[in-house]
Structure 1
Amino acid sequence: MGQSHPAFRFSRARALVRGLRRWATAAGALALTGGLLAAGPQASAAGLTQVTGFGTNPGNLSMYTYAPDALPAGAPLVVALHGCTQSANDYYAHSGWPKFADAYGFALVLPQTSSANNANSCFNWFQPGDSGRGRGEALSIKQMVDKAVALYGGDTRRVYITGLSAGGAMTANMLAAYPDVFAGGAIGSGLPAHCASSVSTAYTCMYSPPDKSPAQWGESVRSAAPAGTHSWPRVAIWQGTADTTVRPANATELRDQWTNVWGIGQTPSRTESLGGGTTLSVYDDASGRSAVEVYTVSGMGHGLAVDPGSGAEQCGSAGTYYLDSICSSYHTARFWGLDGDEDTGSLPAPTGLTVTGTTDTTVSSSWQAVAGAASYAVRRDGTQVGRTTSVSYTDTGLAAGTTYRCTATAVDTAGETGSASPAVAATATGFTPTCHTADNYEHTAAGRAYRSGGHAYAKGSGQAMGLWNTFTGHTLRQTAPGHYVIDDAGCPD
């Protein structure tokens, strides 16, 4: 195993902690790690506007914003947190978020820390005085949200936050501290909320996160939120399987944390293969709407997933810790509904949604009419697939033997969508066997296997696959829906 052996990882973490403590004493600063992320220029380039006077600013942060021309009142707002040794402008230039701010019509807020706060310009996600509600950097970011909403006339119901690495860890803490402010979040190569409370525990979380139960992780969020909170942000989790800085196990603990907060299980409602070697695992709430999504990028190291190019689903520019694989900003924006798929109107949800027929490639459904509806939006697995003026719809182009979750939403004469109906499950007839070659961690994250006692087992068949890690792999053949067997000889053509 060489340097990947667990004993080496623990000894390296301890050595790093000792060294960091000595350095911090000499330098008078605390930092996550010197090489966590690549350096970037200070934010001052055209495109970003610095905003001052946004509050008491107890965290000593700087505020930068970007807003498309002619941004309408009531637009969403996205807060984006850079990583260590980066700046607001660096994240603005590489992440791809400005493209979708222009395309979908929302404003960006890019907070920036500095070496005055942390020697490596990391957000202090591991310091309780900076990561709790009403305190330090966390409060400064909240004050930026208030300022931006006032500046741009933003919709307080549609405020979102995302971040990379240390910024991702701070994102998780902000979602826990301010669930009444943020409708959703996206954590890129980050860590569970309140995983650490010091420099030493920060390294423990990075290299070998505590294997807490979902309930224990969930309680970390509930105890940080205002008492009586019952409404939670929707959370996307992005993680590369080859990340040696923030270990992939953090994505599993994040999933456990936020699914528990939502009161849902840790088995995916469905999985999907995306481009760039990415597997999407979706965890639906009780209504069938995705509440937590985990994007596992095969072979990607530590950084933000980008996909340079001019295509509709492409974004960003590659560089150190901006890794060419898939446009995470595009998929995150769609998950949040920033592409225009939010439910913002006042019409009630359609009732009586029923599956009326299925074939190998289609699912037909119908529902009761809603007074005042001009049309209906139909969604499959959370993504809008059609509009109709009738109370029935046939969804086409489906995969045989695959189960989908369908919802219907009434749309008023102004084009505003109301509440979505409870989801119904529908399975296209037939079955197409599939094969998947990956390491055991990826198989488990995608729902093809499950973990027990540090080992992985094929879902359905229960066949032993060996250690649950990124160094042991198999080919799994799906022989029936939700049933996999080991077939390392490979899939037949």
Structure 2
Amino acid sequence: MTMNFRIDQTGAPGLSIDRPRALECRFRNSAGSRAYDLFVPSGPGDGPRPLVVMLHGSSQSARDFAIGTNMDRLAEEQGFLVAYPDQPRSANITKSWNWFRDADQQRERGEPSILAGLTREIMGRFRVDPARVYIAGFSSGAAAAAVMAMTYPDLYAAVGIHSGLACGSAGSMLLALPTMYRGALLPPRQATHPVPTIVFHGDRDTTVAPINGDQAVAQARPDSDLIVTTLEGRSSGGTAYTRTLLTEPAGAWTSEQWILHGAGHAWAGGHPAGSHTDPAGPDASREMLRFFMANPRR
């Protein structure tokens, strides 16, 4: 992995610093390579830090996604590392993660092996708590995050899916667009090792149909009786939402589904300087972090 410092900083990887760092990195393995930005918060922390991997959507960049989600600010506030892998046009002309290709839905193959590899590399170079490693994404990045939760449940403690699709919803580019518009024709297979999952989806999303959010929640659901709690609310910006909590009685697994009423294909509560954001929505970034930190890998 190569690292270039984007801003002046002191210290070295793995050591405490006085100021936050934004690093430009690249990971390579036999499946290919990806550049990614890595935000390292200031201060020594209270021990090994959590790590959140953030996957942008189509037409976005790593930096655009960082700005739109406000994750760097939250990382500095809460003391966790955050990585933003960047999908190049050479891998997909629209910069979409290839969630729909069979080869990119399997452990230790294709894009999943690259994303898992760069996650492990960061864990090896910095003081990362292995029980608090998470992955989240938007749109195609959310679909890729769902793939990572299915293929690497031993690596990621929880997953955030915003306006995305379940793993295995499509097996080719030919099926990708129809699946986005109407959902998978056949219910995606359930996870063998369910990972706690938080899903956000606008009920007026015309790019990725809301049924895909339902299917993502269903995929992550364990084969056991669950306690279901439904809450209604409204963000400070005026967006109404329905929040459904699914928990096992023993508390070993949980998920949340947020249906954002009247919202389209945009990151809820995001910063308007980033693309595909809806500042009026509830703060999806902060809610995901709350969910993640409450769900370390057990």
Give TM-score, length-normalised by structure 2: 0.85
Amino acid at match of 2:246: Y
2:217 counterpart residue number = 255
Give the C-alpha shift of residue 201 in structure 1.
Answer: 1.2
Is residue 322 of structure 1 aligned with residue 282 of structure 2?
no
The question of 1:74 aligning with 2:37 is answered: no
Partners in 1 of 2:243 and 2:185 — Cα distance? 22
Distance in 1 of aligned mates of 2:83 and 2:159: 14
Structure 2: stretches of 5+ with no match in the other structure: 8-20
Structure 2: which amino acid aligns with 1:70?
G
Q: Is the 8 A contact 1:264 1:283 kept in 2?
A: no
Cα deviation, 1:195-235, whole Å, max 9, x if unaligned, reads 1111111112101113545xx531xx33xxxxxxx5x3210
**Aligned pair partner of 2:202 in 240, 251, 262:** 240
Q: Distance in 2 between matches of 1:45 and 1:286?
A: 47
Which runs of structure 2 are paired with 1:36-435 in the superposition (5 Å)? 48-52=22-26, 54-56=27-29, 58-72=31-45, 73-210=47-184, 212=186, 217-218=189-190, 221-222=191-192, 230=193, 232-259=194-221, 262-264=222-224, 268-275=228-235, 276-288=239-251, 291-307=254-270, 316-317=271-272, 319-324=274-279, 325-337=281-293
Moved over 6 A (4+): none
Q: Return closer, same or farther for 1:57/1:161 CA change in 2, 3 Å cut-off.
A: farther
Distance in 1 between residues matched to 2:149 and 2:104, nearest whole Å: 14
CA contact (8 A) 2:206 2:265 kept: yes
CA shift in 2, pair 1:48/1:317, >3 Å: farther
CA distance in 2, matches of 1:128, 1:155: 31
Encode CA deviations 1:33-61: one digit per residue, 9 max, x unaligned.
Answer: xxxxxxxxxxx965631123x44162431
Q: AA paired with 2:41?
A: P
**One-letter code aligned to 1:247:** A
Shift of 1:326: 1.6
1:239 to 1:174, Cα distance in 2 relative to 1, 3 A: same
In 1, the alpha carbon distance for the partners of 2:274 and 2:80 equals 26
1:117 is displaced (CA, Å) by 0.7
Distance (whole Å) between structure 2 residues aligned to residue 266 and residue 254 of structure 1: 16
Change (3 A) 1:306 1:249: same
| C-alpha displacement of 1:151 | 1.9
**Paired residue for 1:403?**
none
- Preserved contact between residue 96 and residue 317 of structure 1 (Cα < 8 Å): no
Measure the CA separation in 1 of the matches of 2:124 and 2:59. Answer: 30
Distance 1:142 1:257 in 2: 21
By relative contact order (CA 8 Å, sep 6+), the higher-ranking structure is: 2
Q: Identify the range of structure 1 (120-129 vs 265-274) with the bigger mean alpha-carbon deviation.
A: 265-274
How many Å separate the matches in 1 of 2:164 and 2:201?
8
* Cα distance in 1 for residues equivalent to 2:228 and 2:179: 24
| Counterpart contact for 2:64–2:275, Cα < 8 Å | no
Distance in 2 between residues matched to 1:290 and 1:277, nearest whole Å:
26
TM-score for both structures, normalised by structure 1: 0.53
Describe how 1:419-458 pairs up with structure 2 within 5 A: none
**Pair 342,199 (structure 1): closer, same or farther in 2 beyond 3 Å:** closer
Q: How does 1:23-38 map to 2 (within 5 A)?
A: none
Evaluate the alpha carbon distance shift between residue 159 and residue 302 of structure 1 in structure 2; reply closer, same or farther with a 3 A threshold: same
| Aligned partners of 2:87 and 2:96 also within 8 Å | yes
Which has the higher Rg, Structure 1 or Structure 2?
1
Aligned letter for 1:269? T
Deviation at 1:130, TM superposition (A): 2.2
Equivalent residue letter for 2:290: R
- State the shift of 1:258 in Å: 1.2
Contact 1:61 1:137 in 2 (8 A): no
Superimposed CA distance per residue, residues 49-82 of structure 1 (whole angstroms, 9 cap, x where no aligned partner): 1123x44162431122001012434111000001
CA apart distance, 1:137:
1.2
1:85 CA drift (Å) = 1.4
CA distance in 2, matches of 1:92, 1:254: 24
Q: How many residues align?
A: 277
Alpha-carbon distance change, 59 to 165 in structure 1, aligned in 2, over 3 angstroms: farther
